Structure 1
């Protein structure tokens, strides 16, 4: 007689069988405990109601519930608001959905199943209809997962509601909303509650647009890879005089490919970028408002508190000194610097260095008119000998704004990043004269004067200067 060898799969199945049975029993026991907890919570609610009834005032009823919830929360080390909500949920489930509670107690469904049944059926007004609803969904709940149960329970509940879907949608649409929930690390969530058809349409359009962008990024990466291969072949075939140039071309092609790969975005990230781009820049043509220029002319306004060293990108700034967005919290320095560079104007907030009390608020960023004036006046960086164009310079307060410098033309000048940093972090000092000249004093004590370009470009010819006015003889 021959013995059949046992396969590894048979061994695994034999070992897994008792583990599966144990997990099923554990889940059954957990379900029974969840039902027991719901009964205990409902009992706490009943105690609060009896206490409030003895007091005979409505305000005392709420206070009684708060007091009972606080007692339970302290014992359980959780929030009393959470406990008060759980008491209400337990009461509703025990009073209106007894068959669901019975199935939970027997371990035939989980607490997740029970919550789906209650959530879908909570709008059914008549107890007899709730019982019919439970009878129709419990057999399915006891055989399927909670995620599969949800759409079935919602559809079954429709049969027992007093209002049609048209009426309920009209009521729900009246309270459509948009809200922002803050997250950590300078992030937030935007929640939009509105018509399912419209929002699914929005998501579908975003997805199509994001896929088009992603396809373009993929194509660019494919072309960059081909360019790297081409440059590699050219380098391999290059003669000695051509080798240096071919090697430089290959390095550039590789850097371009690396940059494309590093900045490639997941589809979800592209969706978000497109959504924010459209919401911040597109004109809502289907709506009208009071603005003469249209709703599209209204720009987003945010208030950011930025330590000056972080704004300059200084190597000595404190990375743990947070840049804060009002109404949110800390944000990253790169975003803050982008906001500061592109904002038409922003406010500085002067605070006491110890108490943190606000001492004053004024305008920091120059207006467009001031920028135009200074661009014409300066033409380039105002450090002696530097020719960096104003388009690549910062507008610097000659007397630092944190030391009381004002945002006026006579206290502003263009400095490239190199000389801007030099001014703030070395012994070099600068004073602005009434004619716009900048008088620089070196660490060695030497003085260098940089005169504004406009004083040369637009200087008048003495031959054509008007005659000075003759004082009146009185």
Structure 2
């Protein structure tokens, strides 16, 4: 007798909503993994911190008094983390401080992060708002805010925590603001397409006054006949004009209001004098010689920034008095001129090194070579020569790290420097510009029988 067969029950294909839900669930799952990982990273970093604080990592040095074990340990840890993780030393310092706070001051926050209930940015909000509170205040903020953190976005959590911090802080906001004003500063950040950001950390009233003035200027200019720039462009142009060729008023022509914004006293005369008149910064711009002659559109290089378009490079090289023109050979890359009217490698070794390095040569450091020390890779007292192959720029902090800790370096071909960290890891830094000091004669362009001209126009 033949065994009867029954139709197999088929599984219906997932709906579009179910497919999309599965994708979102996968994202949440991997996000949970990353949150667990950063919580574990915090513990690992804090263990390293405790070890460096308990170990004397300073070394004998001829570069001044020996660092204390605590200072040497901190510098070794920060530089090691920065190199290992390919992050800035400021970011590494923040990571060490945040890890210490999560492990010792905010254990419930670290547990919530490890369980995936909050993200690292949520944890950073609690760290930022509690890092100056006494222990009782830290515990109170964590207890009150952490349950809400699981359902709030980072900006909303920040607002919810700010008021509570103000009520619990032992110092008045006036006292804290006075201390913060001492940290005011201006910094730059390169952007794409020949642009850059100029960031200023200033008291809020002054920032408000600056923005309001720029807005008023833009509104005034907007009404001028033929003005086609947008309000945003006008504010940016006014900002630039005021800083480069602006005016100022006498010291007694301003008054400090209750909000801290400087306002003009109309009863006193205004002094329309250029700010810093006659003072021009020295800026290096490297221009391929074919670009300068109009035979190529290869970008130039602005010191501390990077590539700039050929037209801007030609304009700066031909006219701008505050820029030092550096010409390079189109084939060899050899430096032909550094602000001089002849095409030979300059005798000023410091200028040559500045062109080659551009920044501090410690791994990951971007501080400009313009303000850095020129250091012997192999110390002079140990036979190191004073020549381009043994000289590099080191900013003052990293110069001290080299002489006060077990970080060491040695030269390699092509201007490279190989660094050995106290933990035994190796890192290598490359020169920013490949320049060749052996070119001491006039060079011709692509076989042309006519030497490169010494004189403008360019």
What corresponds to 1:319 in structure 2? 297
Conservation of the 8 A alpha-carbon contact between 2:283 and 2:322: no
Q: How far apart in 2 are the matches of 1:345 and 1:25? A: 56
What corresponds to 2:9 in structure 1? none
Q: CA deviation at 1:146?
A: 0.8
What corresponds to 1:43 in structure 2? 47
Q: How far apart in 1 are the matches of 2:22 and 2:57? A: 52
Q: How far apart in 2 are the matches of 1:266 and 1:30? A: 43
Per-residue CA deviation, residues 106-130 of structure 1 (Å, 9 max, x unaligned), is 2211001001110122111x11111
Conservation of the 8 A alpha-carbon contact between 1:350 and 1:358: no
Q: CA deviation at 1:335?
A: 4.5
Per-residue CA deviation, residues 190-219 of structure 1 (Å, 9 max, x unaligned), is 2222221221232244345446656879xx
Q: CA deviation at 1:144?
A: 0.6
User: Does 2:129 correspond to 1:98?
Assistant: no
Q: How far apart in 2 are the matches of 1:76 and 1:26? A: 21
The 1:211–1:110 alpha-carbon spacing in structure 2 relative to 1, beyond 3 Å, is farther
What corresponds to 1:28 in structure 2? 32
What corresponds to 1:113 in structure 2? 122
TM-score computed with the length of structure 1 as normaliser: 0.53
User: Does 2:240 correspond to 1:276?
Assistant: yes
The 1:286–1:145 alpha-carbon spacing in structure 2 relative to 1, beyond 3 Å, is farther
Conservation of the 8 A alpha-carbon contact between 2:245 and 2:274: no
5+ unaligned residues in a row in structure 2: which ranges? 1-13, 60-65, 254-270, 326-338, 352-450
* Match of residue 163, structure 1, among 161, 171, 177: 171
Q: Which has the higher helix share?
A: 1
Give secondary structure in 2 for the equivalent of 1:178: strand
Per-residue CA deviation, residues 72-102 of structure 1 (Å, 9 max, x unaligned), is 6666566677545423320122111122112
User: Does 2:143 correspond to 1:135?
Assistant: yes
Q: CA deviation at 1:285?
A: 0.9
Aligned ranges 1:371-410 → 2 under 5 Å: 403=454
Conservation of the 8 A alpha-carbon contact between 1:323 and 1:333: no
**Root mean square deviation of aligned Cα:** 4.5
Query: Which entry has the higher C-alpha Rg, 1 or 2?
Result: 1
Give secondary structure in 1 for the equivalent of 2:187: strand
Q: How far apart in 1 are the matches of 2:86 and 2:222? A: 48
What corresponds to 2:340 in structure 1? 350
What corresponds to 1:148 in structure 2? 156
What corresponds to 1:457 in structure 2? none
The 1:184–1:14 alpha-carbon spacing in structure 2 relative to 1, beyond 3 Å, is closer
Q: CA deviation at 1:38?
A: 0.9
Q: How far apart in 2 are the matches of 1:307 and 1:101? A: 50
What corresponds to 1:18 in structure 2? 22
> Matched residue pairs, number?
310
Q: How far apart in 2 are the matches of 1:70 and 1:19? A: 40
More off after superposition, 145-154 vs 115-124: 145-154
Conservation of the 8 A alpha-carbon contact between 2:300 and 2:313: no
TM-score computed with the length of structure 2 as normaliser: 0.54
Give secondary structure in 2 for the equivalent of 1:350: coil
Higher relative contact order (CA 8 A, sep 6+): 2
